[in-house]
């Protein structure tokens, strides 16, 4: 029995190490290549260690603008989506009205619609509004797809809070907006962190709307990265841009690690 238990434990350890190697080794390889000159340059021979790839990111105005645009997408997206999703999620969680369940399901059904299906009507609408080829236009398109999933996530967190808390707050003289701002928001902070995380993931890697709604301005880092591939691709530069593009996500995860951990645990429950 002891041998079987030890063998099972060893298999679990081997499986865990294999899984970690599967994830970590490509990241290590990417990082190493990002410090290697893969094309001949006046200041670096092929195969030499260099910081030129990272310096090229900031010296190239297209790459620099792409990073700024992607960060702007994320910030605008979160600043619009979360404040709109919180009261909507509260209404779905605490109030009953005609067609509430059908409307909620309609939001979720809209989220699973492929973005490419809506590119033409969105392009026509944004052309009428004059926000095509702008950072705000793309960020607003991202909000359309992030809002349903944000409402769904926050509705689950709000529903886990007892209704007695609302009633007690109202008896103490809080208005509904005051209750949401002063009492509810601290209680659902993990849910807000999870929502912001999903908004970041969608905006940071999304490329369909950026390709359709931009011609010269507003190119995100995902499009700038794909533009680096050509007849003679500088793989070192590609790897450097890829590694640099992971830094904002790592910073977000580190800054919100406690809230994200609590949020995903509550989600499991």
pLDDT in tens, 36-78: 888 877 777 887 888 888 988 888 888 888 898 899 989 999 9
What's the pLDDT tens digit per position in 211-268?
888 777 778 888 888 888 877 888 889 999 999 988 888 888 787 777 666 655 654 4
Residue 40 lies in a domain: no
Question: Lowest mean pLDDT: which of 31-40, 101-110, 194-203?
Answer: 101-110
Residue 215 lies in a domain: yes
Q: To the nearest 5 percent, what fractions of the chain are helix, strand and coil?
A: 80, 0, 20
What mean pLDDT do residues 2-14 have?
Answer: 72
Residue 80 lies in a domain: yes
pTM > 0.85: no
Query: For residues 250, 256, 259 and 262, what is the CA-based torsion angle, rounded to 10 degrees?
Result: 20
Residue 133: strand, helix, or coil: coil
CB-CB contact of 174 with 183 (8 Å): yes
pLDDT number for residue 256: 74
Residue 85's pLDDT band (cuts 50, 70, 90): very high
CB-CB contact of 203 with 139 (8 Å): yes
Residue 19 lies in a domain: no
Query: Based on C-alpha coordinates, what's the Rg of the chain?
Result: 23
The residue written with tokens 């970590």 in the block is 24
CB-CB contact of 87 with 151 (8 Å): no
CA distances in angstroms from 87 to 40, 91, 155, listed in the order given = 56, 6, 10
Question: Whole domain around residue 204: which residue ranges?
Answer: 59-268
CA distances in angstroms from 125 to 72, 128, 154, 208, 263, listed in the order given = 22, 5, 29, 16, 36
pLDDT number for residue 1: 58
pLDDT number for residue 79: 93
- Tally of structural domains, the chain: 1
Residue 162 lies in a domain: yes
Q: For the beta carbon of residue 210, count every other beta carbon within 10 angstroms.
A: 24
Beta partners for 87?
none
Residue 210 lies in a domain: yes
CATH of the domain at 121: 1.10.3720.10
**pLDDT above 70 coverage of the chain, percent:** 93
Residue 269's pLDDT band (cuts 50, 70, 90): very low
Contacts of residue 54, Cβ cutoff 8 Å, sequence gap at least 6: 34, 240, 244
Residue 259 lies in a domain: yes
């Amino acid at each position: 029995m002891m041998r079987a238990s030890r063998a099972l434990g060893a298999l679990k350890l081997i499986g865990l190490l294999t899984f970690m190697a599967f994830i970590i080794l490509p990241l290590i390889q990417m990082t190493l290549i990002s410090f290697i000159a893969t094309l001949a340059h006046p200041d670096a021979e092929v195969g030499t260690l260099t910081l030129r790839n990272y310096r090229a990111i900031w010296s190239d105005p297209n790459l620099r603008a792409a990073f700024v645009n992607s960060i702007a997408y994320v910030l605008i997206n979160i600043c619009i989506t979360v404040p709109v999703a919180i009261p909507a999620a509260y209404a779905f969680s605490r109030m009953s009205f005609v067609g509430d369940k059908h409307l909620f399901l309609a939001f979720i059904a809209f989220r699973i619609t492929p973005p490419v299906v809506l590119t033409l009507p969105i392009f026509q609408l944004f052309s009428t509004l004059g926000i095509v080829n702008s950072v705000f236009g793309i960020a607003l398109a991202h909000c359309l797809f992030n809002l349903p999933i944000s409402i769904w996530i926050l509705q689950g967190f709000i529903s886990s809070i007892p209704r007695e808390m609302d009633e007690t707050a109202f008896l103490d003289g809080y208005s509904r907006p005051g209750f949401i701002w002063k009492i509810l928001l601290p209680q659902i902070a993990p849910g807000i962190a999870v929502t912001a995380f999903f908004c970041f993931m969608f905006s940071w890697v999304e490329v369909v709307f950026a390709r359709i709604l931009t011609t010269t301005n507003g190119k995100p880092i995902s499009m700038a990265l794909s533009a680096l591939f050509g007849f003679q691709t500088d793989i070192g530069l590609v790897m450097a841009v890829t590694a640099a593009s992971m830094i904002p996500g790592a910073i977000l995860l580190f800054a919100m690690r406690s809230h994200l951990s609590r949020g995903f645990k509550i989600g499991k429950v």
